[in-house]
Amino acid sequence: MSATSTIPDRLLSWYDRHARELPWRAPPGAPAPDPYRVWLSEVMLQQTTVAAVKPYFERFTSRWPTVEALAAAPDEDVMAAWAGLGYYSRARNLVKAARAVAAFGGFPDSEAALRALPGLGAYTAAAVAAIAFGQRAVVVDANVERVVARLFAIDEPLPGARRPIRAAADTITPAQRAGDFAQAMMDLGATICTPRDPRCLLCPLAEPCAARASGDPARYPVKAAKAARPERRGTAFWIERDGRVWLVRREGQGMLGGMRALPDDGWSARADGSGELPLAGDWEPAGAVRHVFTHATLDLAILRYSGPESPAGAGEWWPLDRLEDAGLPTLFVKAAQRALA
């Protein structure tokens, strides 16, 4: 028997002793968790840490304990509850997928059918199929990607390495305890096979690991040089009256779509905004904030209005003493804090 063929047994034995306790999980060997909880957690965890997701998951499942409850929720309530978690297209797709599942009568149990739901890519569909339904599926997130790249010493740079990494992961994915295996791989990457300083002496897969045998496991996966992040500039407008501030609802698609926000100069559609002021009258600088998105860095200036005119178009006057209930995305929370300072 080769060392590689023993990987599932080694890993599952380790997982039975060291599995992380997470609110969306069932303990090793226990009946599978509710597909709704698995799906919701996986969507939230996309490019977001476990620590950041936990309080959001608890609030969502307390407020909307079933997929049917989430499907019936108004879009604006879900977007407000998501505020601060980032990548807001996930929240828009969350509502669409919940409504599709409710109309279907429950979650489909196959990877292919799950993939057809809005917002479920290859990883999320595989994770739900394996963890919630026990289907054999090849589940590869960033942690698993790192573990597999090291196990097989795959030295092709990312993102090109993703195809051979997935093929290698397929060779070690067992038919039995598929959900536990997927979560064990995630846990190994999160706690032992970490990006820097992997803890090889504690790793249950140290013996068959080709990267460890090479003497430099941390060089895997090989990453391509990062392109410089573009710089953007824009302006947000603070219009305050009688203890209230004027908020608008951003367009449903695009950056921060569907979220309440301060009015701005169109920076999300143009690299440097349009420079147009929404009202004639006296404006004064109220500081600036810097925010880093995945694709660009934004320097957002804030202008405060002190004239008599009222804003035109759709919007709402929001009480300043309840501003935290508006569900503003992090960028506009920063801008509000600056304007109020």
Report, as residue numbers or ranges, the catalytic residues. 42
Burial 130-141 (b: 16+ CB within 10 A, else e): bbbbbbbbbbbb
Distances 260 to 100, 244, 252 between C-alpha atoms, Å: 25, 14, 11
55 residue type, one letter: P
**Spatial distance between the Cα atoms of 41 and 53, rounded to a whole number of angstroms:** 8
DSSP type of residue 238 = E
CA 186 to the chain's CA centroid:
15
**Spatial distance between the Cα atoms of 3 and 10, rounded to a whole number of angstroms:** 10
Check: CB of residue 297 under 8 Å from CB of residue 330. no
Give the E-state strand segments of 274-314 in sequence order: 283-292, 297-305
The full DSSP string for 215-283 is T-GGGPSPBPPPPPPPEEEEEEEEEEETTEEEEEE--SSSTTTT-EE--B-STTTSTT-----SSSS-E
3-state secondary structure (DSSP) of residue 307: coil
Check: CB of residue 90 under 8 Å from CB of residue 78. no
**Spatial distance between the Cα atoms of 105 and 118, rounded to a whole number of angstroms:** 16
DSSP type of residue 316 = E
Structure-token pair, residue 307 = 């004239």
Phi-psi region at 287: left, alpha or beta (left = phi > 0; alpha = psi -120 to 50): left
